[in-house]
Amino acid sequence: MKIVPIAFLALAVASLTALAADKVPPLPQPGDSSQWGRHIQRTMTLLATSTPEKRNRVRVLFYGQSITVQSWWKDVAADLRRRFPHADLDIRNRAIGGFASQYLVRTAEHDLYPFYPDLLIFHVYGDHRRYEDIIRRTRERTAAEIAIYTDHVTAKETPDERGRYVNQGWTAFMAKHIAKVADKYGCERIDIRPPWKQYLLDNKLPSKALLKDNVHLNDHGCRVMAGLIQRQLVYRPERMTDRSRGLARTVEVGKDVRWADGKLVVAFEGNRVDAIAAADGPRGSAEVWIDGKRPSQFAGCYHCTRPSTIHNVWPAVIRVGWRTPLVLEDWRARILESDEYGTEIRFEVIGSKTGRDGTGTREETFVSKSGRVVIEPGDWHLERTCTYRKKAVPEGFEVRWSARGTFADTHAPPAVKDPAREHVTTLAQGLPNGKHTIELRGRAALRALRIYRPPFLPAGKTPD
């Protein structure tokens, strides 16, 4: 039987008492913080320059697994809203508990890239190669800035004989790998571990004092995590990098470009174009053409939503792909036959417009008759969920998802009820990342077009 020193217990109790009294010890003073915020200045500038008369629209996404699901992210969101009360913030959390990088790299196709945030705040455990895949694809397919936060100290870690927490094994490997990934892709790295270790040592706390089990945070730990992340989300315009500066540009109508003969023509480079409505003038409408085609004709302007869960835990299918162009419709995969936990299944897919589109089994790659549904064997998640819940696959169970588009073939600007806010319509998102020409034919009340340009091409090269 292991004897726990009374003094050790007293420290843990004192820690909990302090937390209950809202007197959590302050975070350690940072060392060199001169580079903080360097890779997120486009987002921070939008936040900091928002005024009551000009409320910049900013989208923030938290993504990862169970650590990112925990309540600390709400404190970070609240802090951003408090510090930047005039910003028009859209903050979401699409993290999935229990999904290591080898799973999350699949669900990101539904959750991350279609959302196209201005700022991604990210953490995940798992395969280091898939970790990098997620970061690389975010850089290739969105103009998001990325803030990576590193692992905290778990309950299995203890100080060495010199009273120091030393990274060992996989933890040491990932600490170095995350640093390399951050440097390679120009990400903001929020290094949680050093101040977390110092916080424990300064306050004479065991690592368990900030945790509710071996790894997940308790309320105290959530407070520390929120504090360490939000203090690095700083506005330092002098640290703006060329990469962040080039992620988006706004083309003002009437200043940078003008309507002529019922047309507005803009050459651009990137993969997304937003229209920002003007507050005055006749609303009108305009046909949208890009490189001589309607936006709906670009396959990349479509995506599938995250498939529905089984037993209210995890998506029953973690990725649905396609080989032929999608149409806007709802889909379901109906289980026709299954063993108890979904190890062996036979299913049918049905589209609301396509209709019955073929049957398949889990054992092989399924490609529907139309080519609008592709499911790889490893993307079925029934067995893991049912085993975890110790519940069988329900009779007649159906997985549901939708094919959606981020485009507008005809743009009719909405009425501007609040001129301080940007009234934005995405004309095309998911274009090949390169040079294009957009042409609006007609007449619409537009204040500006905003062009987004991901900094990496699929080959990993920076665009010319």
406 vs 116: CA distance, rounded Å:
11
pLDDT for 147 equals: 98
68 vs 121: CA distance, rounded Å:
9
Mean pLDDT, residues 349-372: 98
Q: Which tokens sit at 203? A: 């306050």
Percentage of residues of the chain with pLDDT beyond 90? 88
pLDDT at 461 exceeding the cut of 70: no
In order of their start, the domains of the chain are 6-243 (3.40.50.1110), 247-298+407-452 (2.60.120), 306-401 (no CATH)
Neighbours of 180 (CB within 10 A): 11
Q: What tens digit of pLDDT does each residue of 89-105 get?
A: 999 999 999 999 999 99
Q: What tens digit of pLDDT does each residue of 418-456 get?
A: 999 999 999 999 999 999 999 999 999 999 999 999 999
* Total count of residues recorded for the chain: 464
Among left, alpha and beta (phi > 0; psi -120 to 50; other), residue 82 is: alpha
* Phi, psi of 406, deg, nearest 5: -115, 80
pLDDT for 160 equals: 87
10 vs 152: CA distance, rounded Å:
24
- Which region among 4-13, 235-244, 321-330 has the lowest average model confidence (pLDDT)? 4-13
Residue 20: band (very low, low, confident or very high) from pLDDT cuts 50, 70, 90: very low
209-221 burial, b for 16+ CB within 10 Å, e for fewer?
Answer: bbbeeebbbbbbb
Distance of CA 365 to the CA centre of its chain: 28
Q: Can you spell out the DSSP letters for 5-53?
A: PHHHHHHHHHHHHHHHTT-PPPPPPPS--TTTTTT-HHHHHHHHT-BTT
313 vs 305: CA distance, rounded Å:
17
Q: Which helix (H) or strand (E) holds 93?
A: strand 88-93
pLDDT at 281 exceeding the cut of 90: no
Q: What tens digit of pLDDT does each residue of 295-315 get?
A: 999 999 999 999 999 999 999
Q: Which tokens sit at 249? A: 């540009």
CA atoms within 13 A on the CB side of 354: 24
Q: Strands 57-64 and 119-123, how do they pair?
A: parallel
Strand partners, 398: 334
Neighbours of 183 (CB within 10 A): 10
Of 129 and 281, more confident: 129
84 vs 75: CA distance, rounded Å:
14
384 vs 434: CA distance, rounded Å:
41
Check if the beta carbon of residue 257 is closer than 8 Å to that of residue 273: no
213 vs 229: CA distance, rounded Å:
22
Q: CA dist 112 to 115, 217, 360, Å? A: 5, 24, 28
Q: Tokens 């005809």 appear where?
A: 410
Q: How does the average pLDDT of the chain come out, rounded?
A: 93
Q: Which tokens sit at 434? A: 């390169």
Beta strand ranges found along 143-292 (DSSP E): 145-149, 188-190, 248-252, 263-277, 284-290
Q: Strands 57-64 and 88-93, how do they pair?
A: parallel
140 vs 123: CA distance, rounded Å:
19
Helix 193-202 to helix 219-230 angle, to the nearest 10 degrees?
A: 130
Check if the beta carbon of residue 239 is closer than 8 Å to that of residue 35: yes
327 vs 280: CA distance, rounded Å:
35
pTM check: above 0.95: no
Q: Which helix (H) or strand (E) holds 360?
A: strand 355-361
265-289 burial, b for 16+ CB within 10 Å, e for fewer?
Answer: ebebebbbbbbbbbeeeeeeebebb
CA atoms within 13 A on the CB side of 86: 12
Query: What is the four-CA torsion angle of 229, 36, 194, 94, rounded to 10 degrees?
Result: 30
Q: Tokens 């305009």 appear where?
A: 286
